[in-house]
Structure 1
Amino acid sequence: MDVKMEPGNAALDIVLLRTFLEVVDAGGFALAGERLALTPSAVSGHIRRLEQAAGTGLLLRTTRSFRLTPAGELLYAYARNIVSLDQEVRARLRNAPAEEHLRIGASEDFAGAWLPDVLQAFRRRNPGASVQLRVGVTADLVGELERGNLDLVFGKQCGRVPAGGRLMWEEELVWAFDADGAFDPAANVLLAVFPEPCVYREAAIAALSRAGKSWRLVFESSSMAGCLAAARAGFAVTPVARSQLRSGLRVLGAQDGLPELPDAQFYVFTATSSRVAGELASAVDASGKSSRFRSSPRW
């Protein structure tokens, strides 16, 4: 039954506004419910009550998706400010700092694939927070964390659990090569990899060695874009998480004489118990688990 909309006179409940923001940022009712510890029907009820209070529809729903109405777009901007002001006031009343600076380290998988989208949404939720991002090799970034130079590190491992890290999710590691290039299964495997230490490099060499497959390092780059370019050119094979595949690349496997690679394990390492750091870590965790890097995640 459609809700009849009349000009709203009721105050806009901040709880309902938070639910509305979560639905938009999460991209759906079910995921928003998980983050808010509510059932999807409860989330739907919050949105319905908010629309009644606003006196207009905020979301245009289909069976599989939704989009904001013009009124929804307007309310989203105001709701973000209202909720942020509420958080600031609560912080000031507790004599807590309203602003916080986060120093984040991330492997290139995170930084290049989807962390910018997560950070953008995080910034909308925490306008008083500032972020410093350092991209690098996981082992080096964890070392910086242990020395007190970083607050959070998002990184990857293959087959081992580092001390202090919390596993978020796993993803398939694959061999990438030129989509149109000929690959000789009988020839030495020419590799394009990151410099040491790199878990993808270690996993690739270990897998080839166990399989008795001859290999030769012909391309080394500290940039994933460089390794992918070498693969697209047919110059070498590079090990990457499946989500990193781009146009012009194909996956090589047993039919090409290449051994199976272990899954890449994605971790978060923390050196702070602050609310905003925990919120960012939870958001990255939820985003990765919901998408597994298979599509562009929304937080």
Structure 2
Amino acid sequence: MAEVSTATLDLELLRSFQAAAQLGSLAAAAQQRHRTVSAISMQIKRLEEALGSRLLERGSRGVTPTAIGEALLQESRELLRLHDGMLSRFTGRGLGGKVRLGLPEDYARELLGSVLPEFMAYHPDVLLEVVTATSGELARQLNRSRLTLAVMLDRPHSLPGGETLWHTTPVWAGPRRGELSARPRLPLALHEVDCPYRALAIEALEALGRPWHAVFTSTSIHAVEKAVEMGLAVSVLDRERLTSAMRELGSEDGLPPLKRCEAKLFFARQIEVSSRPAVEALAALLRERLHERGPWHAVPRPA
């Protein structure tokens, strides 16, 4: 009779590997896991020995997953999510702690309407706080440990690391009627500083040498959209936000192409031990719903 393998994987090793791969640094993983750097390094070495494969490439700027490490990262997320959910259901001990989540305002409405209510329904004992702001402001708050988790675009801040969730589709948006793009100085409706799409618009216009001026500036995405709909200005919006009162503008309107952005998931470097399982659970749900889809195409959990 063939011998049955009794080999198992230590979940704590997987958690340390996950932290290092997500944060891109053994030091950051050590802070998050409340361990020493040498302990994290030893745990990953033990995991690599157990699997017989190198999982992380070490470099001067930190660590990055190898191809095998990337595959393990994807599968270990699901394994840990299932493990933690099963433990919670059968022991009667739900997740607790506090999660302060940062979101760009442009995507908050969709996330508040789908992903976050589901998380709160599954984990009612978690104290969830949601903050909306520009990606630049969210990056500052994350650096100051005012957030534990954040979804933000990859500009204009220079925060390293982060996991790509989806690619955005920024477009020039103008009113359905009127030819604002034909004016000598392009009238713009913009967010204030630290907005990725403000940076995209200005960079593209200045590279083209196209004169512009800010007719309308607001911290509210809805106010910016209204300024476009009412024919006051042109703006840069995610294509999914275009309304029937707007139209997409392009090269035929004398406007330059726009670069795409990445929406990324970022973790705080320091997370309270009591809150870490809840942070990981919310991160897992965000990945599951948003990876390569974005908030407008998030797949709901099967009934």
**Offset at residue 292 of structure 1 (A):** 3.4
Q: 1:229 aligns with which of 226, 236, 256?
A: 226
Partner of 2:291: 289
What's the CA shift string for 1:7-49, capped at 9, x where partnerless? xxxxxxxxxxxxxxxxxxxxxxxxxx9x858xxxxxxxxxxxx
Q: 2:128 aligns with which of 128, 131, 143?
A: 131
Equivalent AA in structure 1 for residue 265 of structure 2: V
Mapping 1:36-51, distance limit 5 Å? none
Q: How far apart are the structure 2 equivalents of 1:199 and 1:192? A: 14
Is residue 87 from structure 1 mapped to residue 52 from structure 2 by the alignment? no
TM-score (norm 1): 0.65
Mapping 1:1-299, distance limit 5 Å? 87=88, 90=91, 98-158=95-155, 162-185=159-182, 187-271=184-268, 272=271, 274-289=276-291, 291-295=293-297, 297-299=299-301
Equivalent AA in structure 1 for residue 91 of structure 2: R
Q: 1:145 to 1:209 in 2, by over 3 A?
A: same
Q: How far apart are the structure 1 equivalents of 2:95 and 2:196? A: 38
Say whether the 8 Å CA contact 2:188–2:213 is kept in structure 1: yes
Q: How far apart are the structure 2 equivalents of 1:127 and 1:147? A: 27
Q: How far apart are the structure 1 equivalents of 2:161 and 2:112? A: 21
RMSD after superposition: 2.8
Equivalent AA in structure 2 for residue 168 of structure 1: L
Q: How far apart are the structure 2 equivalents of 1:102 and 1:282? A: 13
Say whether the 8 Å CA contact 2:110–2:296 is kept in structure 1: no
Identity percentage of aligned residues: 27
**Offset at residue 282 of structure 1 (A):** 2.5
**For this pair of structures, how many residues does the alignment match?**
218
Equivalent AA in structure 2 for residue 101 of structure 1: K
Q: How far apart are the structure 1 equivalents of 2:205 and 2:195? A: 16
Equivalent AA in structure 1 for residue 226 of structure 2: A
Q: 1:164 to 1:36 in 2, by over 3 A?
A: closer
2:291 alignment partner, SS class: helix
Partner of 1:80: none
Q: 1:163 to 1:86 in 2, by over 3 A?
A: closer
**Offset at residue 245 of structure 1 (A):** 1.8
Q: 1:137 to 1:297 in 2, by over 3 A?
A: same
Q: How far apart are the structure 1 equivalents of 2:141 and 2:296? A: 30
TM-score (norm 2): 0.64
Q: How far apart are the structure 2 equivalents of 1:90 and 1:164? A: 35
Q: How far apart are the structure 2 equivalents of 1:210 and 1:257? A: 13
2:98 alignment partner, SS class: strand
Q: 1:194 to 1:159 in 2, by over 3 A?
A: closer
Q: 1:298 to 1:119 in 2, by over 3 A?
A: same
For structure 2, the residue ranges without an aligned partner over 5 or more in a row are 1-74
Say whether the 8 Å CA contact 1:179–1:232 is kept in structure 2: yes
**Offset at residue 168 of structure 1 (A):** 1.9
Q: 1:297 to 1:143 in 2, by over 3 A?
A: same
For structure 1, the residue ranges without an aligned partner over 5 or more in a row are 1-32, 38-82
What's the CA shift string for 1:208-244, capped at 9, x where partnerless? 0111211111110000001000000110011111122
1:202 alignment partner, SS class: helix
